[in-house]
Structure 1
Amino acid sequence: MDDGDFLTALAARRLLAIVRGRDAGAALRTVITLVEAGVGLVEVSLVTADALDVIRRARAALGDAAGLGAGTVLTADDARAAAEAGASYLVTPAVTEAVAEGRRLGLPVLAGAFTPTEVVAALGAGAAAIKLFPAFLGGERYLRALRDPFPGVAFVPVGGVGAAEAAAYLRAGAVAVGAGSPLVGDAADGGSLDALRERARAFEEAL
Structure 2
Amino acid sequence: MSQERMTRRPGVGLALRGNPVVAVLRASHASEYAPVIEALAAGGVTSIELTLSTEGVFAHLPALVELFGARVDIGVGTITTAEQANEAMDAGAAFLVTPVTKLEVVEAAVDRDVPIFPGGLTPTELWSGWNAGATAVKVFPAGTVGPGYVGHLRGPFPDIEVIPSGGVSIEDAPAWIAAGALAVSLGGPLLGDAFRGGDLTALTGRAQRVTALAAAAVAARGAR
Tell me the TM-score normalized by structure 1: 0.91
Report the CA distance between 1:118 and its aligned residue. Answer: 0.8
Report the CA distance between 1:4 and its aligned residue. Answer: 2.3
Q: How does 1:38-187 map to 2 (within 5 A)?
A: 38-63=44-69, 66-96=72-102, 97-187=104-194
Pairs aligned (count): 205
Cα offsets for 1:112-165 (capped at 9, x unmatched): 121111122102322111111110110012222112222211111111111111
Distance 1:64 1:202, change over 3 A: closer
Report the CA distance between 1:5 and its aligned residue. Answer: 4.0
Contact 1:158 1:177 in 2 (8 A): yes
Q: What's the Cα RMSD here?
A: 1.8
Contact 1:90 1:108 in 2 (8 A): yes
Q: Which moved more, 1:172-181 or 1:46-55?
A: 46-55
Q: Percent identity?
A: 36
What amino acid maps onto 2:100 in structure 1?
A: A
Report the CA distance between 1:205 and its aligned residue. Answer: 2.5
Contact 1:26 1:187 in 2 (8 A): no
Tell me the TM-score normalized by structure 2: 0.84
Cα offsets for 1:51-82 (capped at 9, x unmatched): 12332221010235631111111111110111
Structure 1, unmatched stretches of 5+, are: none
2:38: which partner in 1?
32
Structure 2, unmatched stretches of 5+, are: 1-8, 215-224
Q: Which moved more, 1:184-193 or 1:42-51?
A: 184-193
Report the CA distance between 1:24 and its aligned residue. Answer: 2.4
What amino acid maps onto 2:113 in structure 1?
A: G
What amino acid maps onto 1:139 in structure 2?
A: G
Distance 1:66 1:180, change over 3 A: same
What amino acid maps onto 2:207 in structure 1?
A: A
